[in-house]
Amino acid sequence: MNIRRVLPYGVAAALALPLAGLGQGTALAATDYQAEDAQISQGTAATNHTGYTGTGFVDYTNIKGSYVEFTVSAASSGTAALTLRYANGTSTERPMDISVGGTVVASGVSFPATADWNTWVTKTVNVPLTAGTDKIRATATTANGGPNLDRVSLDAAADTQAPTRPGQPSCSDIGENSLTLAWGAATDN
């Protein structure tokens, strides 16, 4: 005897609806800010290496305290992902402090060596922004200065907190052609 159980169409659809859209991205598009267009202190806009975007990049002077300061806009207050595109053709790490509105929000961020000055990579840190205009500064913390900085991008912050497990499932209203499935919701940020 071959027994076959089939969920009615309504139950199958009810189970599938909460999953609809999970594969569709809802993140905001990133906004790029070119380093050579920002305020530069103890550095220069340069074009002597390849692979940069925009019209050039910033070559930090080899001095502690040199910085590039970007004026950025945020539609609302919250945490944003700040991605810095840089090159470091030395064998020495060139750490920087990242500040927003004059307050250091990430200290000693590592900018390790890249293959050469023409090889650009990215480093992302989450930063708090207020609605409106914010000043973001990347300041060299050693006498080696900062890496060559091409641009920064602002995007929605990455979700770094894993959701909790959903509650225990339960089944009720079991009938000949239908049933009700339920479980407690997971918590997420």
pLDDT in tens, the chain (189 residues): 444 444 444 444 344 333 333 333 334 458 999 999 999 999 999 999 999 999 999 999 999 999 999 999 998 899 999 999 999 999 999 999 999 999 999 999 999 999 999 999 999 999 999 999 999 999 999 999 999 999 999 998 766 667 777 778 888 888 888 888 887 777 665
0.75 surpassed by pTM: no
Q: How many CB atoms lie within 10 A of CB 186?
A: 11
The residue among 19, 11, 13, 15 whose CA lies nearest residue 173 is 11
Residues 6+ apart with CB under 8 A from 72: 31, 33, 129, 133, 134, 135, 136, 154
Instruction: Compute the radius of gyration of the chain from its Cα atoms.
Output: 25
Contact 70, 135 (CB under 8 A): yes
Instruction: To the nearest 10°, report the CA torsion of 158, 129, 153, 60.
Output: -120
Secondary structure (DSSP) of 73-126: EESSSEEEEEEEEEE--SSS---EEEEETTEEEEEEE-----SSTT--EEEEEE
